[in-house]
Amino acid sequence: MSTKVLAIDDSRTIRNLLRVSLEGAGFEYHSACDGVEGVEQFSEVEPDVVITDINMPNMDGFGVIENLRSGPNRTTVPIIVLTTESGPDLKARAREAGATGWIVKPFDDASLVSVLRRLTGHVV
């Protein structure tokens, strides 16, 4: 069974890019376009790994992480933050919230897949 990814990002472009990269690498791809929908989808899809944007309408990425880590889902699946900012503050905050790792936009396919592989054990 292939590894299920849930990507949460309000940008259609980014979702498209992720879909192409991840489906190409053999992941089962699911997506949501904001935090609230992401959390909803999480219960439905039961992904093996979550990729989330930070700045989104309705619920931002920190909200998603906090919700998944301490909300009713209370999950330990890896959550990867996808962000354009790479400052140490953001990393610390993401880690504090319970993020597993981060990917800085713009990302390239190889590094994206490599991070996912590292955090999920997915075999390409």
Partner 1 sequence: MSNSSIRDTFFEECEELLEALVEGLAAMEENASDMEVVNAVFRAVHSIKGGAGAFALDRLVNFAHTFETVMDKVRSKQLDVDEQLMMLFHRSGDQLADLVEAARDGREPNAESEAAILKELGAYLDDAENEEELAFDAAPLAFDAAPMAIDLPEAEAEPPGEPEQRRFDIRFRPSPALYANGHEPLLLFDALAELGTLSVIADLSRLPEFDSFDPEDAVIDWRLTLQTSEDETVLHEVFEFVDALCELEIEVSEEPAESLPADLPEPADPIAAAPPPPDPAVPAALTTEPQGPAQKPAKQSPPRDEPRGPRPTLRVDLDRVDRLINTVGELIINQAMISQRIEELELPAVAHLTNELEAYKLLARDIQEGVMAIRAQPVKPLFQRMSRIVREAAEATGKKVKLVTVGDSTEVDKTVIERLADPLTHMVRNAVDHGLERPDKRSELGKDPAGSIRLSASHRSGSVFIEIADDGAGLNRTRILEKAIEKGLVSPEAELSEQEIDNLLFLPGFSTASEVSNLSGRGVGMDVVKNAVAALGGRVSIASTPGMGTTFTIVLPLTLAVMDGFVISIADQTMVIPIASIIETIRPNPRDLHCIGTDGEVISVRGAYVPIVDVARNLGLSGEGADSSGVLLLVSTEGQGLTALRVGAIHDQRQVVIKSLESNYGAIAGVSAATILGDGKIALILDPDELVKLTPAALFLPPAPPPKPELRHA
Residues in contact with partner 1 by CB under 8 A are 10-17, 19-20, 28-34, 37, 41, 43-46, 53, 55-57, 69, 71-79, 84, 86, 92, 95, 98-108, 110-112, 114-115, 117-121
CB of 16 to partner 1, least distance (A): 5
The letter for the amino acid at 109 is: D
Q: Is the CB of 29 or the CB of 62 nearer to partner 1?
A: 29
Edge-to-edge strands, sheet with 101-104: 28-32, 4-8, 49-53, 79-83, 101-104
Given the structure tokens 């900012």, which residue do they identify?
Answer: 85
CB 41 within 8 A of CB 15: no
Smallest separation, CB 86 to partner 1 (Å): 8
Smallest separation, CB 25 to partner 1 (Å): 14
